[in-house]
Structure 1
Amino acid sequence: MAIADQKPPSDGKVWGLFKLPFRHTGNNTNTTSSSSTTSSHGVHQLHHQSHPHVEGSNPPPSNSVSSVARSLLPARRRLRLDPSNKLYFPYEPGKQVRSAIRIKNTSKSHVAFKFQTTAPKSCFMRPPGAILAPGESLVATVFKFMEHPENNEKPMDQKSKVKFKIMSLKVKGGTMDYVPELFDELKDQAAVEQILRVIFLDAERPSPALEKLKRQLAEADAALEARKKPPEDTGPRIIGEGLVIDEWKERRERYLARQQVEGVDSI
């Protein structure tokens, strides 16, 4: 039968087919070496083609890579914020609530900062901006009117869409006072320090964040009261109805009094 006449190849032929790629004859060696030489020659040519400055062409500027790398690096921050990226508010619907944040100048130059918010009608800051000397810090207070919840939502389920942003600007120390127009005139030099999102705290449940907020608010209130006090007067003291106590004047009056007494006695 035809099927019976078809015999499988012998074992020697089968393994021979598998062993062919691993057999190393003289011709194969020459072929491999020639192909390797051709490949290395091609890589050598590609290496020369990838450097256009060969054969008299101008080399690429060395500082181009460094300038691109500097542009990709994040801007160095001038301020340290505490909390770093959040504003905590006690949840009290229908009331004006307060948050606080410490702002410290960590640079070696004077830095101006200012607040911005997406809800200027319901939020305001105190101070809205200032100039800080190197190493100087202050606690700013943020006021927000708390709306009533919608659809009977729980306090902690509320997600506020209000956000705040703190901008910074390097200025010359001792030569200017803070005005908001600084950021308009030098807007190209201003940097975004941080975007702060609002977090609500349960006012009736103690928590570390709530205790920290209370301490910062107390510090801000104390600093505000200190600024309200009139400066100490180092000039002449005024008593009674405007009588000025002046040491020279007192001595002169005592001298004249003695002269009058001595004149009366001589008479």
Structure 2
Amino acid sequence: MMREPLDTTVADAARRYDYLLGGKDNFAADRQSGEQLRTAFPAIRTAVAENRRCLHRVVRYLASEAGIRQFLDIGTGLPTAPNVHEIAQQVDPDMRVVYVDNNPVVMAHARALLTPKPPGLTVYVEADLRDPASILRSEALHSTLDLTKPVAVLLFAVLHFIDDHDHPHQAVADLVAALPPGSYLAMSHVTFDPLPDVARARLTKLADPAAGHGTFRARTRPEITRFADGMQLIEPGVVSVVDWHPTDNQETRSTPAETAFDVFVARLP
């Protein structure tokens, strides 16, 4: 089946995120959308940068302290160094990483730019989180990861692009159900909870499908915590990305209101 031609006149979440991180793999529509979001929430570049830094800390924790040797990174987005496999393979060169995204442009960039150093193994699966079975039945996944041994599933900055009618909590539960005990789920998610009313109202208006920025569903901390049902939350629990195992000087850290991202790491008993 032929794919639809790439429409560069419509903003894309992955390319917009790349733009906000200072990347070059984006188009005018992505930059325009990013700037409209920045007008509503001036700290948005700080937010995406802090989210990325938190991802790095989480991967290091899982590899170094939790002993994880297999990662499943869903909603990987456009490559932004250092990437998950690069961080993990600094701990153990034998790390195995599967990247998953439903965006063919992301997958094309990933295959071209993400080159693992042997003996580690990295593969790329084009599948949709809204259909977890499409991920779990992937031959590439099963040839790379041993699902009888602990796996860390990463869902960073992806679930807020899935609306409630696509049952995101059930999708995550289905993924977790396929994992063996000792596996981990780590995720970050946009929340408007710490924002002042004015910023929250502006962003809520932009999140309307009619605004042309794509599907977007910020969630409250209790809604985010539900994704960890049946799992053991690792300290400090569900917190702002700037408060999860911070390494920066306390005086220079961003605030939860500047980041608007919550994060947690949870272990499957």
Same fold (TM over 0.5): no
* More helix, by proportion: 2
Structure richer in strand, relative to its length: 1
TM-score after normalising by structure 2: 0.19
Larger radius of gyration: 1
> TM-score, normalised to structure 1's length?
0.19
